[in-house]
Each structure stands twice: as structure tokens, then as C-alpha cells.
Chains A and B, each alone.
Chain A
């Protein structure tokens, strides 16, 4: 069973600060997806990384997939109150040639950005 551990569980910061959320596993994943969930809504996909060492940027958000494809990080620069939400990482396995297999989700990081 592949497990994903996210840290920290909770993060409370002031507007303008930088932060990093980590997603770690002892297993190798074929991909890492990051989702953000706002209160009262379902998770929304932010990014998918599939190559070891890959870095993707989405405005003030930077996502990195570890070289060994066992970990990933999400860095937010100059956080804003609109970044508040639950951030979830999800690992996927390329099961042979079919690519089928359920995603494994981390427990999530609750981020609160105060004005």
C-alpha cells in the first residue's frame, strides 16, 4: 500500500509570507497531482507532475517532483488570503501498460492566510 504523508498539517501565516508544503512517501509514484479544496467545495486540480526533478510554476505557486519520484513540494510566494484552503497531494501509479489504478491521497495541509 502506497502512503503519502503531508506536512505540515496546519499552516497559519500572514499575507505576503512565503510557505512550502511537503508530500512524502517511501514508495515511487508515476505522478503527483496537487489539488486545492475551498470550504464547501470539492478539490480542484492545480497541477500534475510526472517526471523526476520536474518543476512547474503556476503564477505564485511552484511545484516540484523529487528526483526519485517519492516526494513533492508546493511553494507559495507572497501568500494572499485567496490562497486559503486545504491542499492535497495525490500519487498515481502507472500500472503496466494500462495506466489504470486509483490515486492515493495525502491527508492534506490546511492553509490559512490572514490579511
Chain B
């Protein structure tokens, strides 16, 4: 069974540009969550999508947005990039919405560097 696939693995962008990251969940998983990971802040929750609808949202500005397609694949977009957006962006899938007793399956992330 293929794991969670994130593309691209690495991205270098300039301040002010926008970027789109992609995530393909494990087959059969309907929930996709996005996290930002930085050394200083740890793993910060961005949002969760289930059945093409955003179900949970973290405390990030509106520059961060996402969507989910009918095949459960998800994309995350960041507009007007800032230096502070440099981070590892992780996608995690699960069978159903995040629950206290169900595991998250993470991809290997997209490393975004903003210069």
C-alpha cells in the first residue's frame, strides 16, 4: 500500500511569490491535514480537509489556503510569501476526520525556502 506522497520535495521561492504544494493520501483515506514544521515552533496545524470540505483550521493568516479534490488529493497554497514561511510542510492522511484514537500517516514533507 503506497504511503502519503507529497510533491515537490524541495522548493525555493522569492518573497512575494506564491506556491502550491500537493499531497496524495493513502488510498481509501478521506481526511488530509496540513502542518507547518519549524525548529522554533514545532508542528503547527494549518487545516484539515474531509470530503472536499475544510473541517478544522489552525491559527494561520488567510495567505494560507487549501482544497481537496474528489479523489481526496489535496493542495495547499501560500500567497505573497514571506521569509517566515520557510519551513517543512507536512501532509497527513487518516481514514476519517482526526480523532483522539486514530493515527495520522505523514508524508515526507515539502521543504520550502523563501529568499
Which residues from chain A sit less than 8 Å from chain B, CB to CB? 29-31, 33, 35, 40-45, 48, 50, 88, 90, 92-95, 99-103, 105-108
The one of A43, A93, A105 in contact with B100, judged by C-beta atoms closer than 8 angstroms, is A93
Q: How far in angstroms is the closest Cβ of chain B from A100?
A: 5
Sorted nearest first, the 6 A-B pairs with minimum C-beta distance are A92-B100, A42-B106, A107-B42, A105-B43, A99-B99, A30-B100
**Chain B residues with CB under 8 A of A94:** 99-101
Interface size on B, residues (CB 8 A): 26
Is the CB–CB distance between B106 and A48 below 8 Å?
A: no
Is the CB–CB distance between A88 and B101 below 8 Å?
A: no
**Chain B residues with CB under 8 A of A101:** 56, 98-100
Which residues from chain B sit less than 8 Å from chain A, CB to CB? 4, 33, 35, 41-43, 45, 48, 55-56, 58, 90, 92, 97-109
Assembled-state Cα–Cα distance A43/B103 (Å): 11
The one of A41, A45, A107 in contact with B103, judged by C-beta atoms closer than 8 angstroms, is A45
List the count of A-B residue pairs having beta carbons below 8 Å apart: 73
Is the CB–CB distance between B106 and A102 below 8 Å?
A: no
Assembled-state Cα–Cα distance A45/B48 (Å): 19
The one of A43, A44, A45, A100 in contact with B99, judged by C-beta atoms closer than 8 angstroms, is A100
Which residue of A has the minimal Cβ distance to B33? Answer: A102
Q: List 5 A-B contacts (CB under 8 A).
A: A42-B106, A48-B103, A94-B101, A101-B100, A107-B41
Assembled-state Cα–Cα distance A40/B110 (Å): 10
**Chain A residues with CB under 8 A of B103:** 33, 45, 48
**Chain A residues with CB under 8 A of B4:** 42
